[in-house]
Amino acid sequence: MKKKLSFGKAFLYGILIVYAVITVIPFIWALSSSFKNLDEIVSGAINFIPKHFTFHNYKVIFVEQGLFPRWLFNSLFIATMVTLLNMFFNSMAGYALARLHFPGKRTIFVVILAVLMIPMQVTMIPNYLILKSLGWLNSYQGMIIPTMINATFIFMMRQFFVNFPKELEEAAELDGLSKIGTFFRIVLPLAKPALAAQAIFVFMGSWNDFMRPLIILSSPELFTLPIGLNTFKGQYISYWNYIMAASMVFTLPILLLYAFFSRYFIKGISFSGGK
Amino acid sequence: MKSRFLKRTVRESLQGYLFLLPALFVLLLFLVGPIFYAIFLSFHKVQLLGTTSFEFVALKNYMNIFDDLRAKIAVWNTAKYVLIVVPCQTLLAIILAATLNAGMKGEKFFRIIYFLPTLTSSAVLTLIFMWMYNQNGLINKVLDFIHLPTYNWINDPSIALYAIMAMNIWSTAPFYMVIYLAALQDIPESLYEAAELDGASAIQKFLYVTIPHLRPVTSFVVIMGIVGTFQLFDQSYIFSGGSGGPNNSTLTVVLLIYQYAFKNMGTMGYAAALAFSLAIIILIATLIQRKFSKEESLY
């Protein structure tokens, strides 16, 4: 009996380890390629430790490829703005839908639920025309303003506030705080875990978004990293050492974010996946 | 007294609208408005030169879909992609979650590792895989080493789509695994104990206790999977340099919509009709899936 059990355990560990290797290899291979020189890349050898370890590729993308730092800045700027605005506006909307009473509340809630079901390809083309007539194509505001709220997270925040203990708000109100004061001073600080999960996913969504910048942005100075990287690939078609170095720089901020907030990541997913 | 009460409700209403103002602005201008605008566009021929002009063409855009060979290819590629990727990634997610949940040491470590692809952008993942799929690349070298046939993953029309499938199963399964993990932790331990008393083996416990309890979550995962896979774009765009090639083998519906809307002249209305048809197909697929799993307690 005992022996059989340990065999089962070994089998399970086998699955876990094999899959961990399958997951990690592409990243390690990319990382190692980013430190190799072109000769070694072209030779097609499958050594994971570079024979001639070099920072040259990173130097090239940051120094000689003048636009790369700009793309990094654009991505950081847009993703940060979008995240901050989302955190405020989604929470405010979610709170109003959960706690305040006003005519039309149900209709607005139903509309938000309905919008969740519409694939973005439908709204993408009209969005392009609307941004065009506003003169916002190829601009930061064209990237930021249409994504400064997110129906999914309005919904999530509403669910969060519905289950939020009412007593605290009532106490604050008795102490003479207005609804707005109560929200910003009492409710929002206590909603930190929900806000953190939201912030992470909004930031990641904006940072990794490919289709929207591809459509909206046309001048290379305004490109975000995904689009920049794609043109970069076209330009340096067989310089995989540069492309991999650029890819690694692109991935690092998200990995750092993950390292700091990993528990919220998992929580945030279970939030959206749970009942 | 009554007027004081009235004043209060008016004030609360105003506060409600104030709180919703930014959300309503974006919702109306960039989400709800565009849905109606898209319907309008799909019945028109749109000219973008200078000032945008519209010419009413009734159902012509929708009829054209049936004569469009590339649309047929795109639909076929997308359908194949959905039908292969969704079951594979769901199954893989269940297996990984069940394995991780078996009370093993280092569960946290494996969870962190598995999560890496979910964090990484599709653009980076696609580039890394293109680098590995290279004719002289890592994957072919490994296949060669264990005496398996090698392929021209990127440029062979009969293989390219499968190369994208493999990559996406690899990158999305761990995301769904996390959802399953949360669900697994909610299954009461007493059920397993009861099954054990009845002499159930580990595999029987998995099949008769775990799987039935995961049904609502599976339904959710499959729906999310269907919606996600139908919208395949980034990977095939980067893989083929925007063309959907080689020989249209990686052309997906969304890539085709993109090409007609933003790369071709005068086909924006047609692209809107295609986008609308896609939305309806996704909706129908989702409804069918829900009917099959007979699960109404999803939300």
Strongest mean pLDDT among A58-67, A105-114, A178-187, B201-210: A105-114
Residue A127 has a CB neighbour count (10 Å cut-off) of 23
Q: Is residue A271 part of a domain?
A: no
**Element at B56 (helix H, strand E):** strand B53-56
When pLDDT is averaged across residues B178-204 and rounded to a whole number, the result is 88
What pLDDT is attached to residue A154? 95
The answer to whether residue A131 scores a pLDDT higher than 90 is yes
Q: Which amino acid is at B273?
A: A
Q: Is A256 exposed, middle or buried (0-12, 13-18, 19+ CB in 10 A)?
A: exposed
The per-residue b/e assignment along B134-160, b for 16 or more CB within 10 angstroms, e otherwise, is: beebbbbeeeeeeeeeebbbbeeeebb
A128 contact B CB<8A: yes
Which residue would you say has higher pLDDT here, A81 or B48? A81
Asked if the Cβ–Cβ distance from A250 to B123 is below 8 Å, we say: yes
Q: Are residues B113 and B211 in the same domain?
A: yes
A132 is in which domain, residue-wise? 29-43+54-266
Q: Are residues B135 and B224 in the same domain?
A: yes
Q: Are residues B223 and B257 in the same domain?
A: yes
Q: Is residue A156 part of a domain?
A: yes
Residues in chain B: 299
Torsion of CA B85, B86, B87, B93, to 10 degrees: 100
Q: pTM for this one?
A: 0.91
Q: Give how many domains chain B has, as a whole number.
A: 2
Distance in Å, alpha carbon of B113 to nearest chain A alpha carbon? 6
Q: Is residue B242 part of a domain?
A: yes
Q: Are residues B49 and B192 in the same domain?
A: no
Residue of A nearest to B182 (CA): A270
Q: Are residues B182 and B42 in the same domain?
A: no
3-state helix, strand, coil in chain A (%, to 5): 80, 0, 20
The answer to whether residue A274 scores a pLDDT higher than 60 is no
Q: Is residue B87 part of a domain?
A: yes
Distance in Å, alpha carbon of A268 to nearest chain B alpha carbon? 10
Q: Are residues B28 and B80 in the same domain?
A: no
CATH at residue B227? 1.10.3720.10
Q: Are residues B112 and B256 in the same domain?
A: yes
3-state helix, strand, coil in chain B (%, to 5): 75, 5, 25
Q: Is residue A16 part of a domain?
A: no
Q: In this predicted model, what pLDDT tens digit does every residue of A148-200 receive, in sequence order? A: 999 999 999 999 999 888 888 888 888 888 888 889 888 999 888 889 889 98
| The last residue of a domain, from among B17, B35, B57 | B57
Q: Give how many domains chain A has, as a whole number.
A: 1
Q: Are residues B42 and B126 in the same domain?
A: no
Residue B283 has a CB neighbour count (10 Å cut-off) of 14
When pLDDT is averaged across residues B95-118 and rounded to a whole number, the result is 88
Pairing of strands B53-56, B44-47: antiparallel
Considering only CB atoms, which chain B residues are within 8 Å of A128? 261-262
Q: Are residues B168 and B49 in the same domain?
A: no
Q: Is residue A178 part of a domain?
A: yes
Considering only CB atoms, which chain A residues are within 8 Å of B114? 19-20, 23
| The last residue of a domain, from among B18, B42, B57 | B57
Which residue would you say has higher pLDDT here, A47 or B42? B42
Query: Which residues are within 8 A (CB) of B197 and not within 5 positions of it... i.e. 6 or more apart?
Result: none
DSSP conformational letter for B45: E
Angle at B119 between CA A253 and CA B262, to 5 degrees: 95
Under 8 Å CB pairs connecting chains A and B tally to 269
Q: Is residue B299 part of a domain?
A: no
The per-residue b/e assignment along B103-114, b for 16 or more CB within 10 angstroms, e otherwise, is: eeeeeeebbebb
Torsion of CA B30, B33, B35, B39, to 10 degrees: -140
> To the nearest whole number, what is the mean pLDDT of chain A?
89
Residue entry with tokens 């076929």? B76
B90 is in which domain, residue-wise? 60-293
Q: Is residue A79 part of a domain?
A: yes
Q: Which of A101, A120, A121 sits opposite B12 (nearest CB)?
A: A101
* Structure token digits, residue A155: 């919904």
Q: Are residues B48 and B131 in the same domain?
A: no
Distance in Å, alpha carbon of A97 to nearest chain B alpha carbon? 8
Considering only CB atoms, which chain A residues are within 8 Å of B283? 117
Considering only CB atoms, which chain A residues are within 8 Å of B22? 85, 88-89, 92-93, 148-149
ipTM: 0.90
* Structure token digits, residue B88: 């594979």
Q: Is residue A274 part of a domain?
A: no
| The last residue of a domain, from among B57, B83, B98 | B57
CATH at residue A130? 1.10.3720.10
Q: Is the peptide bond before A193 cis (omega within 30 degrees of 0)?
A: no
The answer to whether residue A251 scores a pLDDT higher than 60 is yes
Q: Is residue B135 part of a domain?
A: yes
Which residue would you say has higher pLDDT here, A81 or A236? A81
What pLDDT is attached to residue B2? 63
Q: Which of B17, B112, B132 sits opposite A29 (nearest CB)?
A: B132
Instruction: Using alpha carbons, select from B30, B179, B275, B118 the residue that is nearest to residue A150.
Output: B30
pLDDT band at B235 (very low <50, low <70, confident <90, very high): very high
The answer to whether residue A272 scores a pLDDT higher than 70 is no
The per-residue b/e assignment along B187-219, b for 16 or more CB within 10 angstroms, e otherwise, is: eeeeebeebeeeebeeeebbeebbeebbebbbb
Q: Is residue A224 part of a domain?
A: yes
Q: Are residues B51 and B64 in the same domain?
A: no
Q: Is residue B156 part of a domain?
A: yes
* Structure token digits, residue A131: 């941004």
Q: Is residue B163 part of a domain?
A: yes
Q: Are residues B18 and B134 in the same domain?
A: no
Q: Is residue B15 part of a domain?
A: yes
Distance in Å, alpha carbon of A119 to nearest chain B alpha carbon? 6
Distance in Å, alpha carbon of B154 to nearest chain A alpha carbon? 14
